[in-house]
Amino acid sequence: MSKARDYQSVMARKAEIMLKSTGIDYSKFESGSIAFDYERMMREIGYTLEEIQKIQYSVNVGNTPVLELKNLTALARKCAPEGKGARIFIKDEAANPSGSFKARRAANAVYHAKKLGYKGVIAATSGNYGAAVASQAAIAGLKCIVVQECYDSKGVGQPEIVEKARKCEALGAEVVQLTVGPELFYKFLLLLEDTGYFNASLYTPFGIAGVETLGYEIAMQFREKYGQDPDAVVCTNAGGGNLTGTARGLLKAGASTKVIGASVNLAGLHMASDSQFNRKSFTTGHTGFGMPFSTWPDRSDVPRSAARPLRYMDRYVTIAQGEVFYITEALASLEGLEKGPAGNTALAAAFSIAQEMDRDEMIVVQETEYTGAGKHVQAQLSFARENGIEIFFGDPAEEVPGKNIILPSHPSLIKARDVYLDHMKKSLIKTAVNIYKTVPTEEDIVFLAEETKSSVEFVREVLKSL
Amino acid sequence: MVKKGTWVRIHKIVLKPSERAPQVPEDTKRVPLEMWVKGFLLQDAELGDEVSIETVTGRTETGTLVEVNPYYEHDFGKCVPELLAIDKQVREILFGGEEQ
């Protein structure tokens, strides 16, 4: 008898479909309460750093160059107080086969899928990850389906997502395109069930372990070239995997580098709104993912996300859309490097943060992404203007997402704005208690302290205030 | 007529407005969840017909035939003069000897 295919019935089979499509029995890491054994999950399901390096290097992923941005550093120093202005570097992840750091996550996921005997892989993503999975599946000889949220109800596609669809198809994948809505997950589950393919989720332990090499490489490259670890690394933060993997890699290298998350500020825009879908100029790296996924990582497409950014974040800043576009153009104009805007979120933040740091310090932006039709700064600004977004020079602090994009009238107006991390930590603890509807055990309290990079005392204080 | 075996794009309603998930915002709830997929046409048909296709992964999907030999039209956008102003500004600050 064939299974029911309506929305409710398919969603009710979620756990069963996930188990079959990831091969991971998440239940064995559960405590039965809020806590689960994160490190054991990473150890038993993931791969060692050495194994990952071997997997990635065998498919031409990783070992990307670190570039010093001397002219951008000089520009930051022109805007900074006397003696300030750290040296700014980028790790040119666009040099990976699919044009972004996501190749690292995909290499591992696809390797694992092939090892387990799956005939194909499926990824639900509107971002660079789709092209990364398509690229790796092509190398492995596996079939690949990418499910995208791409259009609004008028059939207008976000140019950046349309470009990613093109790239996926160019790399041999089938692309299933949908209009706005979280029910994408329903179609995703149906596809997993119908095909029996592997769920190349962004949030499995192997996906996140795949990014650890990025952090590790940064430490090794800096030690070799400059004789020391960088002082700070800035990671564009959305689902949290980029930051989590990079931070874990730095820790594995024994580096004490400060880890800073940066997201484009899209406050006020609803991510599942049809009418607001094409009023944002960033499809990832923004607060619409960054905030909810940091304060509750287990909202992803697997039962327990391996991306848990609040465990590793020393600081979290937001940056305005206009600031990222400005810095993207400045990168082309002053450094001769054309890169995609979304990947430059952390760069815009680093340009500002460098001005707080001393001149002999070093700050690294740990990714770049490819650019092209649809993904280019001009394509995005032009599309925004056609959608009624006002674009003008002024103070980006006054930008209202969905209404305008304010390009800084002078680079000195580019300012990373701090998010109060304690609020986010409290939010995570509160959500945990609400979701599990339980009085936290001693084990839960220790777990929540680890989850929030805080202390048992901090967790107790928060629990008392609830 | 569109011949069997032609590369086409189909459109399908996945969920009607009444079937949408409860957590979806009001504006999204008013519209259906739509889907587009590409593949090789499995029978001769006309634009607007209900058809079956075989995708590049070998899956069969059904829907309304909307496009024959579909292609991409996204581009680098229209001229945004502000970008030229940014180029000029950063180069002047850095290399133009502007007093800081």
Q: Which of A225, A226, A243 is nearest to A234 (CA)?
A: A243
Overall average pLDDT of the B4-15 stretch:
98
Q: Is residue B80 part of a domain?
A: no
Chain A residue with CA closest to B87: the answer is A333
Using the predicted structure, report yes or no on whether residue B97 has a pLDDT greater than 70.
Answer: no
pLDDT of residue A1: 58
How is chain A split into domains, by residue range?
59-97+206-418, 421-465
Please choose, from the candidates A260, A235, A447, A443, the residue with its C-alpha nearest in 3D space to the C-alpha of residue A344.
A235
* A160-216 pLDDT tens trace: 999 999 999 999 999 999 999 999 999 999 999 999 999 998 899 988 999 999 999
Higher pLDDT, A123 or B96: A123
Domain count, chain B: 1
Across A409-427, average pLDDT: 97
- When CB atoms are compared, the residue of A155, A163, A407 closest to B86 is A407
d(CA A85, CA A64): 25
Measured between beta carbons, the chain A residues lying within 8 angstroms of B79 are 378, 382
Would the pLDDT of B85 be above 60?
A: yes
Written in H, E and C, the secondary structure of A237-248 is CCCCHHHHHHHH
Question: What's the CA gap between A274 and B31, in Å, rounded?
Answer: 8
Residues of A in contact with B34 (CB under 8 A): 151, 153, 155, 178-179
Can you say how many angstroms the Cα of residue A99 is from the centroid of all Cα atoms in its chain?
15
Tell me whether residues A179 and B100 touch, CB distance under 8 A. no
Segments forming the whole domain that contains residue B30? 7-71
Interface contact A182-B23, CB threshold 8 A: yes
Q: Do B57 and A333 touch (CB under 8 A)?
A: no
pLDDT in tens, A268-319: 888 899 999 999 888 889 999 999 999 999 988 788 999 999 999 999 999 9
Mean pLDDT across chain B, nearest whole number?
A: 95
Q: Do B72 and A162 touch (CB under 8 A)?
A: yes
Strands B33-41 and A315-319: what pairing? unpaired
Residue pLDDT, tens place only, A349-406: 999 999 999 999 999 999 999 999 999 999 999 999 999 999 999 999 999 999 999 9
- Which amino acid belongs to residue A154? K
Using the beta-carbon criterion (under 8 Å), do A75 and B100 form an inter-chain contact? no
Contact A378 B58 (CB under 8 A): no
Interface of B with A in 1-20 (CB under 8 A): 14-15, 19-20
Q: With both helix axes pointing from N to C terminus, report the angle between A205-226 and A102-115 in degrees, rounded to the nearest 10.
A: 130
List C-alpha distances in Å: A271 to A184, A256, A268, A289, A320.
13, 35, 9, 8, 17
Q: Do B21 and A183 touch (CB under 8 A)?
A: yes
The token pair that represents A435 in the structure block: 């979701």
Decide if B2 is inside a domain. no
Say what the pLDDT of residue A2 is: 82
Is B45 part of any domain?
A: yes
pLDDT of amino acid A283: 84
Is residue B99 predicted with pLDDT exceeding 90? Answer: no
Between A466 and B57, residue with greater pLDDT: B57
Closest CA to A65 of A192, A182, A214: A214
Burial label for A418, CB within 10 Å (0-12, 13-18, 19+), is exposed
Average pLDDT value for residue range A138-146: 98
Question: Which of B75, B78, B94 is opposite residue A373, by nearest beta carbon?
Answer: B75
pLDDT at residue number B53: 98
A175 touches chain B (CB under 8 A): yes
CA angle at residue A236 from A450 to A91, to 5 degrees?
A: 110
Of A282 and A144, the structure prediction assigns the larger pLDDT to A144
Q: Is the pLDDT of residue B98 over 70?
A: no
Q: Do B77 and A378 touch (CB under 8 A)?
A: yes
Put simply, the answer to whether B90 touches A374 (Cβ < 8 Å) is no
Q: Identify the band that residue A453 occupies on the pLDDT scale cut at 50, 70 and 90.
A: very high
**Candidate from A183, A274, A378 with C-beta closest to B80:** A378
Q: A residues 376-415 near B, CB within 8 Å?
A: 376-383, 385-386, 391-393, 407, 410-411
Q: Does the domain at residues A59-97+206-418 carry the CATH identifier 3.40.50.300?
A: no
Closest chain B CA to residue A161: B74
CB contacts of A186 in chain B (<8 Å) are 14-15, 21
Residue range B15-63, pLDDT digits in tens: 999 999 998 999 999 999 999 999 999 999 999 999 999 999 999 999 9
Mean pLDDT within A250-278:
94
Residue B100 has pLDDT above 80, yes or no: no
Residue B28 to residue A180, Cβ atoms within 8 A: yes
CB pairs under 8 A between A and B: 159
Q: Is there a contact between B33 and A273 if contact means CB atoms under 8 Å apart? A: no
Mean pLDDT of chain A: 95
Can you state the percent helix, strand and coil of chain A, rounding each to 5?
A: 50, 15, 35
User: What is the residue-wise DSSP string for A155-187?
Assistant: -PBPHHHHHHHHHHHHTT-EEEEEESSTTHHHH
